[in-house]
Amino acid sequence: MVARRRDRLEALAAELTRQHGTANQVVALDLLAEGAVDELWRQVGDLDVGIVVANAGISVAGPLVDNSPIEELNVLTLDGVVPLQLAHRFGRRFAQRRRGAVILVSSMIGAGPAPYLANYAAVKAYVSSLGLALNYELKKDGVDVLVVSPGPTQTEGLDNAVGIDFHKLEGPIMAPSRVACTALNNLGKRAHVIPGATNNSMALMGNTSCRGGCRSDSTAGSFTAPR
C-alpha cells in the first residue's frame, strides 16, 4: 500500500490484518515527487507483486485558464504519468514471468470533453486508452489489464473537491468497496468496467460528459458535470 501519510497506512494495514489475517507492507511515498516510481520499485522490487492498482489521483475544477498551471500539471502527473510509469515498470516484470495484473482507475468523465474539469477529463481519457491498448498487448503474455471507470465515489477527495460539489450532482455516490469488488470480479474477464447499474445506464445514454455544454452555477459552487 502506497500513500503519503504513514499513520493512515499503518492504521489500515492493522485493520486488514485484524479482519483478514493478511500481511501488509506500507510505503509512505508522495507519488508526485520526482523519481517516486523509481523509489517505489526500489522498495518493493524484490517482492512477488501480483496485482498493481493505480488509484492515486487528484482533480482541479473550474475554468482551465483560471486554475494554477502547477496544479493542472500535478493532475497530469499523478493521474496520467504515474499510471503510465507503474504500468510500464510492473507490466514488464509481469510479462517476463507470464503472470500478473494491472488495474488502471479512469473515470466516467473521461468518456468525453468536460468543461470546468477539462484537464482531469482529458487525463482520464488517456488512462482509458492506455489501459485498453495494454489489455490487448499484454494478454498474450498472461498479464491481465483492466480499466475501471467509476462515477462519483465516496472518498476524501470527493468531499474536499475545490470548485465542484459532487453531492449536488445527479446520480448515486458509490461506496469505494463496491468499486473495488466490481474491479476484482471483472479482472481477467474484460478490458473495461463501469461500476454500478445507474452509471452504466448513464454511459449508454452518453450522459457522462458535457458534449452539449455544461451549465455552471458559481453561486452554488457546483457544475453539472459528473465525475
pLDDT in tens, 49-64: 999 999 999 999 999 9
* pLDDT band at residue 7 under the 50/70/90 scheme: very high
For the chain, give the mean pLDDT.
86
Beta-strand pair 216-217/192-193: unpaired
Per-domain boundaries in the chain: 49-223
Q: At what angle do helices 69-76 and 118-139 cross, to 10 degrees?
A: 20
C-alpha cell at 225: 458535470
User: Pairing state of beta strands 192-193 and 143-148?
Assistant: parallel
Confidence of residue 177 (pLDDT cuts 50, 70, 90): confident
pLDDT(216) > 50: no
Pick the more confident residue, 217 or 152: 152
At residue 83, does pLDDT exceed 60?
A: yes
> How does pLDDT run across 104-150, given as a tens digit for each residue?
999 999 999 999 999 999 999 999 999 999 999 999 999 999 999 99
Neighbours of 194 (CB within 10 A): 25
CA 103 to chain centre: 9
Would you state the pLDDT for residue 220? 30
pLDDT reading at 162 higher than 50: yes
Q: If pLDDT is split at 50, 70 and 90, which confidence band does 227 have?
A: very low
* Confidence at 203, pLDDT banded by 50, 70, 90: confident
β-pairing, 216-217 vs 222-223, is antiparallel
Q: Is the model's pLDDT at 182 over the cut of 90?
A: yes
In the prediction, which pLDDT does 219 show? 29
Model confidence band, residue 201 (pLDDT cutoffs 50, 70, 90): confident
Name the CA dihedral angle for 121, 221, 197, 175, rounded to a multiple of 10 degrees: 100
Domain 49-223 sits in which CATH superfamily? Answer: NAD(P)-binding Rossmann-like Domain (3.40.50.720)
53 has which bridge partners?
Answer: 103
69 near 155, Cβ under 8 Å? no
Residue 213 pLDDT exceeds 50: no
The predicted pLDDT at position 157 comes to 67
String of DSSP letters for 131-189 = HHHHHHHHHTTTEEEEEE---SB-SHHHHT-SS--GGGSSS--B-HHHHHHHHHHHTTT
